[in-house]
Amino acid sequence: MYCCLRVDLDYVPWDTPDAQDFGHGEPAIVLKMLELARTTGYKFHFFASHRVLRALPAIAEAVLNDGHDLDWYCKHPERFEEMWLLAEPLFRELRHQPLGVALKAAWMAEYDDADLPGTLAFVSTFGGVAPRDLRFFPVETRPAREAYRLGMSARSWTDATKGILRDGASRNRGVTVAVRPQVLARFDPKLAFLREILDLTSAIGLPIVTLRDLLAKPG
């Protein structure tokens, strides 16, 4: 039984399509999230794409320096090998070894045959089949990015997420909540709704952990 806040980092300044919808507020929101964590003691699990590691390496350094976990965000799992060849040297420059990968969509059986990095131990996805050789952590909540584009208000998204957390606590199972700081910059710029979600986890007895924290526990 747990709650993991999965924070997907994929913003780069030249990303026009997402910027038109959500703006350029991701770096500022990441700093706000780090400050929130410092004042509350929460630990978050960040996942960074090769684009972020290349364009904004200071973001990844700030995450690690504040004691949070950092792993790889792969936006295009159908191109695992290509994406990893771009990400691996950037993680190496950080002197940090990723142990897991977060995907934008569901895991598909054909991904089992991809040439995945040997160091990877787990995957976080929005459902799909369980991978053959990796620990599987599905995301149960609707991502804020999708909610925003479907016309949901921040309040509706928050209430739906809180309902899933309560259900997880009642069933004694873990819940992963995935957010994009770029989306929060438009959706929840003061992080009031995010704080509400995190505070609920404490109230209902769901410890906030990272997926790395869970690797040592039985699957």
How confident is the model at residue 218, as a pLDDT? 62
- Is a pLDDT exceeding 80 seen at residue 202? yes
State the helix-helix crossing angle for 57-65 and 26-40, rounded to 10 degrees: 0
Domain span at residue 168 reads 3-214
15 pLDDT band (50/70/90 cuts)? confident
How confident is the model at residue 90, as a pLDDT? 96
SS3 119: coil
In a domain, 61, yes or no: yes
Question: Cα(192)–Cα(196) distance, rounded to whole angstroms?
Answer: 6
In a domain, 168, yes or no: yes
Mean pLDDT of the chain: 89
- Is a pLDDT exceeding 60 seen at residue 219? no
In a domain, 183, yes or no: yes
How confident is the model at residue 13, as a pLDDT? 86
Dump pLDDT digits (tens) for 85-131.
999 999 999 999 999 999 988 888 888 877 777 888 999 998 788 88
Q: How many domains does the chain have?
A: 1
In a domain, 151, yes or no: yes
Dump pLDDT digits (tens) for 40-83.
999 999 999 999 999 999 999 999 999 999 999 998 888 888 89
How confident is the model at residue 211, as a pLDDT? 95
Long-range contact list for 143-149, CB < 8 A, 24+ apart? 143/178, 143/179, 143/180, 143/183, 144/179, 144/180, 144/183, 144/184, 144/187, 144/188, 145/22, 145/180, 145/183, 147/187, 148/21, 148/22, 148/183, 148/186, 148/187, 149/21
In a domain, 219, yes or no: no
How confident is the model at residue 128, as a pLDDT? 80
How confident is the model at residue 64, as a pLDDT? 96
In a domain, 8, yes or no: yes
The CATH number for 104's domain is: 3.20.20.370
Calculate the dihedral angle through the C-alpha atoms of 197, 212, 29, 37, rounding to the nearest 10 degrees: 70
More confident residue, 117 or 27: 27
How confident is the model at residue 24, as a pLDDT? 86
Mean pLDDT of 204-218: 88
Dump pLDDT digits (tens) for 152-190.
788 888 999 999 999 989 888 889 999 999 999 988 999
